[in-house]
Amino acid sequence: MEELKEIARGPIDVLIVGSGSREHALLWKFAQSEMVGEIHMAPGNGGTIGHNVGIQADDIRGLSEFARDTGCITVVGPDRPLELGIVDYFMERGLPIFGPTRNQAMIEWSKIHSKETMRELGIPTAQWTWFTDKDPRRAMQHASLRGGNVVVKADGLADGKGVYVCSSVEESNAAINAVLVEKKFGRAGERMLIEEKLVGRELSVFALCNGIDAVYLGSAVDYKRLLDGDRGPNTGGMGSYSPVGWAGDELISWIMQRMVIPTVRHTRFSGFLYLGLMITENGPMLIEYNARFGDPEAQAIMPRLNIDLLAEVDAIARGEIRAFHRYGNIFNNLGSCCVVLTSEGYARELGGAQRRIHGIEEAQGDALIFHAGTTRSDGELFAEPGKRVMSIVGVGSDASDARARAYAAAEKISFEGMHYRKEIGVQRTRVKA
């Protein structure tokens, strides 16, 4: 299979769609490819200056025209353009793109559809029932029969805010009210799930898929709550680490064989497939599918990958089926720890102003820095208010080395209103309820 690399085409120009640290980490990884040409970011951020093209991530037509004019392949970071059908749009025009079609991505953008897929494939998951905005009272009755100890979820994409883990009838009523009656998530909440509440440890598992087969791309633990001790509001993710010591080869291979491969075969999924799991006393249960890489998981996993990811992505984008197994080792032997810095107001819907960021150069000696909510003006770097500003990724010989590097770097950075969690990568002994 090695010869395939030899006959592959010359420099690969690539357009990365998105503006977060996940996309910056993809840029960093792609830049190391032997085959890399130009890398463009749409729209990118203050850390990807020099690559940024002024096109928004949901401007599908604008993106397609750029891709057509430059002859680049396109890689999609976030969920929205996938739901909008960016891959279908490009494919209809013969433009190479890496990611799932709108239909394939439905396992992410409809939680009810994802549960139906799991049921068809016999994949273990929390018990569930769905309701529409026609019957909020029946939903409330269903939840109260379970003492309100349920998880309430809007069916559609809700920027990670459409899930309520409830512990009382009061909470479940409020959640059902917010989704079905107040319509807090608009059309994404026209339908809603009520699930059994699982107890265990959460794990994110990633695979690279070409429509018929998949290869394991690593796993990570991410930290969703704003504050230490898993307190405060939910966020897009405050940090992550990889590899995950307690998730052994046997568990991963079970997840690949019993969950990932059947899903890829059934949906012909192409792109990054990301499984959100709860590892319970009764084994792994699938919480959700995502049809893209995770953020902040990408930042922790990219530095661990030994493979030429751009070459793989390019082949899949162009519909070429290559065997995955020619790589001896997908991973290096390093551990990584990602700490996310946020600006004032993040996850709290408060105001705030742009703040100058200090200490980036000093911090770069200890860790990788992937930007998100940053802008550059007059040569100075600024943090935007209410955002995840950047990811600081320590890479080391083991988990504690990685963690020490990440925090050494984070301590050198400062801006007014900066916040980060202090316990990313510390092994939790408490099992989450």
The reply on whether position 286 binds ligand ADP by CB under 6 A is no
Closest approach, Cβ 52 to Mg ion, in A, equals 28
Distance CA 183, CA 163 (A): 14
Distance CA 407, CA 420 (A): 10
Q: How many CB atoms lie within 10 A of CB 6?
A: 6
Closest approach, Cβ 215 to ligand ADP, in A, equals 23
The reply on whether position 276 binds Mg ion by CB under 5 A is yes
Distance CA 116, CA 125 (A): 11
Is residue 331 classed exposed, middle or buried when 0-12, 13-18 and 19+ CB atoms within 10 A define those classes? Answer: middle
Distance CA 383, CA 415 (A): 8
For the segment 298-357, give every residue that binds Mg ion (CB under 5 A): none
- Residue 308's binding partner out of Mg ion, ligand ADP, none, with CB under 5 to 8 Å set by partner kind: none
The reply on whether position 13 binds ligand ADP by CB under 6 A is no
The reply on whether position 126 binds ligand ADP by CB under 6 A is yes
Q: Which stretch binds Mg ion (CB under 5 A): 88-96, 275-283, 337-345, 422-430?
A: 275-283
Total number of residues that touch ligand ADP (CB under 6 A): 16
- Residue 151's binding partner out of ligand ADP, Mg ion, none, with CB under 5 to 8 Å set by partner kind: ligand ADP
Of 276, 283, 352, 359, the residue at the interface with ligand ADP (CB under 6 A) is 276
- Residue 165's binding partner out of Mg ion, ligand ADP, none, with CB under 5 to 8 Å set by partner kind: ligand ADP
The reply on whether position 197 binds ligand ADP by CB under 6 A is yes
The reply on whether position 198 binds ligand ADP by CB under 6 A is yes
Of 11, 54, 71, 160, the residue at the interface with ligand ADP (CB under 6 A) is 160
DSSP for 235-297 reads EEEEEEEES-TTS-HHHHHHHIIIIIHHHHHHHT-EEEEEEEEEEETTEEEEEEEESS--TTH
Please say whether the dihedral angle defined by the alpha carbons of residues 326, 329, 331 and 332, taken in this order, is positive or negative: negative
Kind and range of the H or E element at 117?
helix 111-121
Q: How many CB atoms lie within 10 A of CB 412?
A: 18
The reply on whether position 43 binds Mg ion by CB under 5 A is no
Q: Which stretch binds Mg ion (CB under 5 A): 268-276, 316-324, 345-353, 358-366?
A: 268-276
Closest approach, Cβ 369 to ligand ADP, in A, equals 25
Does residue 25 contact residue 370 with C-beta atoms inside 8 Å?
yes
Q: Which phi and psi (to 5°) does residue 169 adopt? A: -65, -35
Closest approach, Cβ 237 to Mg ion, in A, equals 9
Of 83, 195, 308, 314, the residue at the interface with ligand ADP (CB under 6 A) is 195
User: What's the DSSP call for residue 381?
Assistant: E
Note the residues at the interface with ligand ADP (CB under 6 A). Answer: 126, 151, 153, 160, 162-163, 165, 195-198, 202, 224, 276, 287-288
Residues that bind Mg ion (CB under 5 A): 276
